Amino acid sequence: MFQDVFHLIDLRSFSNIWYWIVVAAMWSSLSHFVLGVPFDMVARARRQGGAAQADLEAMVRVQVNRRLYLSEAAGPWMVGLIAGGLAALATLGFGYGLQLGQAAFLLLAPAALTGLLGVLAARRIREADPRGEALCAILARERRKVQALGVVSILLTAFWGMWQAMSFSVLGS
């Protein structure tokens, strides 16, 4: 019975189209929402100024305060839980050869790094208190960092996934 279920689910994650759809959707979302602020607000604030800029500044202030509060209140616990979860996934995936663990680790580890980048950016924004174009420039720079991390992550995941798919089918494991 379990064999039928596993054949239906196909735990070989890297050859599963749904895994790659999740990868694409995750990186699209992470690069669109910089510090939790939709990037179209940044573009509109640059184009229109005025009320759009005031809305952007208010949204950034709310998101910066929220991230910094969470990092100060539960930061060590969050770091410990995330690091423990990633270590467990890495051990299951790369230590025991479970492809689902590898896939989850390659998906979640870079996402955790974007969370760290967000907290660091929130601290810089709170310290500098930028307004107008300076704030837009900081958010655009943070978006480029997330996009660069996404490109590297997708490439590494694709190469690892191709290696796993080739070794699984060719070597018969």
Q: Is residue 122 part of a domain?
A: yes
Q: Is residue 98 part of a domain?
A: yes
**Sequence-distant (≥ 6) Cβ neighbours of residue 111 within 8 angstroms:** 26, 30
Q: Is residue 82 part of a domain?
A: yes
The model carries a pTM of 0.84
Residue range 81-114, pLDDT digits in tens: 999 999 999 999 999 989 999 999 999 999 999 9
Residue 130 structural domain: 41-168
**Sequence-distant (≥ 6) Cβ neighbours of residue 160 within 8 angstroms:** 14, 102, 106
* Nearest partner of 64 among 40, 34, 41, judged by Cα: 34
**∠ CA 38-155-119, rounded to 5°:** 40
DSSP strands (E only) in the chain: 33-34, 37-38
* Nearest partner of 31 among 136, 142, 157, 154, judged by Cα: 142
Q: Is residue 68 part of a domain?
A: yes
Is residue 139 a contact partner of residue 60, using CB atoms and an 8 Å limit?
yes
pLDDT at 165: 79
Residue range 8-66, pLDDT digits in tens: 555 567 878 888 999 999 999 999 999 999 999 999 999 998 999 999 999 999 999 99
Q: Is the pLDDT of residue 161 over 90?
A: no
Q: Is residue 149 part of a domain?
A: yes
Q: Which residue has the tokens 């208010």?
A: 58
Q: Is residue 64 part of a domain?
A: yes
Is residue 160 a contact partner of residue 106, using CB atoms and an 8 Å limit?
yes
158 pLDDT band (50/70/90 cuts)? very high
What is the three-class DSSP state of 97? coil
Portion of the chain with pLDDT greater than 70, in percent: 90
Q: Is residue 134 part of a domain?
A: yes
Is residue 93 a contact partner of residue 104, using CB atoms and an 8 Å limit?
yes
* Total of domains in the chain: 1
Q: Which residues pair with 34 in a beta bridge?
A: 37
To 10 degrees, what angle do helices 50-90 and 99-128 make?
A: 140
Q: What is the mean pLDDT of the chain?
A: 89
pLDDT at 85: 96
